[in-house]
Chains A and B, each alone.
Chain A
Amino acid sequence: MWNTFKYTVKALVQEKSCFVWALAFPLIMATLFGAMFANLDSAHYLNPIPTAVVDDARYRNAQAFSETLEALAKSGENQLLDLFSVKSSAEADELLKNGTIIGYYQVDEKEQPELFITAASGNSINQTILKNLADGFIQTQAALKTIAENNPQAFADPNFLENLQEQTNYTQEISIIANEASGSVRYFYALLGFAAIMAANIAVIAVTQTQANLSPLGARRSLGATSRTKALLASLLASWLLAFLCLIITFAYMRYVLDINFGRDLASILGLGVASLMTTALGAFIGAIPKIGEMLKAGILTVLSCFFALFAGLYGEPSLKLADDMNRIAPLFQKLNPSRQVTDLFYSLYFYDGFDEFYRVVFVLLAMAAVLFLLAALLMRRQRYASL
């Protein structure tokens, strides 16, 4: 049995067709995804807003406003503004016109900041932030002025100014998912789901080479003095190992080269072990179908992989939407979609705190593997054939 395992591994490793689809293709696709989605997540984060301020005498007199802008432009994690200091409004207009800045502030004769923007000067979110900043400053200044006029003794309280300046937030931001939201990870997970199904090719070839009715080599091996069950088990074990290695390599490439977050790495590897078991069972089943050539089986597998991947969200935004819609409309179909289930393995680790969802998906994949192995065994149970 060990010899069969050893030589099956050796033979399958050199089967180019296996590795083109199970390894090379996912790696190439992952590289392309890496290049395509590099900026997808960063687009959700706020970058410092390029803003100018007219550094004239009024601005220098409006000490509170200038200190506020300097604080907001200070380098660091909370930097809000990328501040350009200009000598005149004409210079600021020029920067606004050529798109260097989103808007600019100028202090007016009432020592209040005025915001200048144009319709074409940037996205509305950044313009709103700049507007809110100016409005907030003016409101705070007005509040202080009113209090000073009506209740000057309030300033005797040493905590008064501190409390006034403190912006109390009455909402708390919490995340309902275990990790930081990322739009791109879904594509990589779907790609792993696709790669898992393509890895079934390995088992297709291994099974074809053990069955007397499928290949001359299978016929010869069937005539040996080693039990067919043992030989088949050794071949399936070799297929599982290679499918697992292919997925691990793709996973490692995504994780460590493309820096894709999988939530929990060890559990991901365990999940890949289960996924490769399911894919080996799928390959065993397709491989065992009689009267169909190896090429046709590979074709069937490619069609199945592409079809399942469509509903796992591999083909971009519309495919992702379709996958989500199918989850709602036809949950059973998605449960039976092996590509979707492998994708869900990683969702469960990335988006969920606990392991309940992960265990559920693992159970579904194991159940799929059991059913497919059973069907394969039914097809392969014969020891003699009506014709070869």
Chain B
Amino acid sequence: MSVVYVENLVKRYKEVLALDHFNLDIKQGEIFGLLGPNGSGKTTAINCMLQLLTYDKGVIKLFGQDMTPSRYDLKKRIGIVPQNIAVFEELTVTENVDYFCALYVSDKAVRTQLVKEAIEFVGLEEYVKFRPRKLSGGLIRRLNIACGIVHKPELIFLDEPTVAVDPQSRNAILEGIRSLNRNGSTIVYTSHYMEEVEEICTRIMIMDHGQILASGTNNELKAMIGTGEKIQVEVFNLSDEALGAIKALNCTQRASYDGKTLEVFCTSGAQNLSTVLQTLQQEGLALGRVYSEPPTLNDVFLELTGTELRD
């Protein structure tokens, strides 16, 4: 069943086309990643789906039903963790979580249990009486998450939840997202950190300037660009002839040299590394460190747009 279905969504901010016939179909149980640089339209897409923003055209269905601002029955099944910290500065951790829980759950006894579980889930048990200003950036992010997931929603939108957090909190947040998914929640995860998206998402959509560039699983996306392996070799005084020899290899898609490191993008193949090294040795060059790795989503993005993801 489609939990989120978006068809031909168009959103303009005056002259700027923020979403250009945006389509989305997320199935139940997925961790769906929306990957794109800042300003690519990820948050706009989410805000349109949640009916916070008006849009020019398109169909939005959540849980198979048309979404409107007053569909409180659907909103009850949705959790939101916004990009900006959105909690009461003046309330404690427990009070904040309880407040947001009360927007969905009226029974106080049920709520008390849910609040306790949410606080435990994000690991804030020791900080229940702290106000946000006393928490570190990572802990505030966890509180932000607790407020969004406390009512155990079936669908959770997490908009850049790891921005400006320490590695420990980041790992805890990512593990928490996996755990929410294991417990049955469908996750929509936006980020411009490709490593995170690669790590946790079952399906990924890459977008830029409001357009979908590619969509699929991690492997499907990498397969799209045809790069099987990325080889980096530290080498000094690489001549133009030697670089030309590397570029002339059958396995080479493209190669570049920055005066210190040779970077070779190869097609899929078992012998790519030995072929490249052999060629360099034949040129009589002294080699330093050698790296070989499969392509990343950044490589996919680079291939699709011609720019780095973090540009």
Contact = CB atoms under 8 A, between A and B. Distances in A.
Nearest to B75: A225
A370 B99 CA distance: 30
B247 interface: no
Interface in A1-38: 3-4, 7, 10-15
B98 A216 contact: no
A15 B90 contact: yes
A18 to B, nearest CB: 11
Contact of B53 (A209, A226, A227, A387): A387
Contacts of B89: 11
A4 B69 CA distance: 20
Contacts of A209: 88
A216 B85 contact: yes
Given A3-B102, A10-B91, A216-B85, A225 B76 contact: yes
Interface in A186-209: 209
B72 A220 contact: no
A216 B86 contact: yes
B103 A224 contact: yes
Contacts of A383: 51, 69-70
B86 A220 contact: yes
A129 interface: no
A225 B73 CA distance: 7
B24 interface: no
Contact of A3 (B87, B98, B147): B98
Nearest to A13: B90
Given A222-B52, A224-B104, A217 B88 contact: yes
B104 A384 contact: no
B65 interface: no
Interface residues of B, number: 32
B13 interface: yes
B72 A227 contact: yes
A256 to B, nearest CB: 30
A15 B98 CA distance: 20
Contacts of A221: 103
Interface string B94-117: 010011101110000000000000
B84 interface: yes
Which of B85, B100, B103, B104 is the most central at the interface, judged by chain A CB atoms within 10 Å of its CB?
Answer: B103
A10 B102 contact: no
Contact of B69 (A13, A226, A384, A388): A384
B246 interface: no
B82 interface: yes
A170 interface: no
Contacts of A224: 75, 100, 103-104
Contacts of A227: 70, 72
Interface string B263-287: 0000000000000000000000000
A225 B103 contact: yes
Say whether chain B's binding surface is mostly helix, strand, loop, or mixed.
loop
Given A7-B99, A383-B51, A386-B54, A219 B82 contact: yes
Nearest to A218: B86
Nearest to B13: A387
Interface string B157-199: 0000000000000000000000000000000000000000000
Contacts of A222: 52
A212 B50 CA distance: 12
B111 to A, nearest CB: 9
B202 interface: no
Nearest to B96: A7
A10 B54 contact: no
Contacts of A13: 90
A45 interface: no
Contact of A388 (B53, B87, B95, B103): B53
Contacts of A226: 72, 102-104
A231 B98 CA distance: 15
A385 B88 CA distance: 23
B99 A223 contact: no
B47 interface: yes
A13 to B, nearest CB: 8
A11 B52 contact: no
Given A226-B72, A387-B53, A220 B82 contact: yes
B80 interface: yes
A330 B165 CA distance: 60
B52 A219 contact: yes
A384 to B, nearest CB: 5
Interface of B: 13, 47, 50-54, 69-70, 72-73, 75-76, 78, 80, 82, 84-91, 95, 98-100, 102-104, 147
11 contacts: A4-B102, A10-B90, A10-B95, A11-B88, A11-B91, A215-B86, A216-B86, A220-B80, A231-B103, A384-B53, A386-B53
Given A221-B103, A384-B51, 12 more contacts: A3-B98, A11-B90, A14-B90, A15-B90, A216-B84, A217-B87, A219-B52, A219-B82, A219-B86, A223-B52, A226-B104, A384-B53
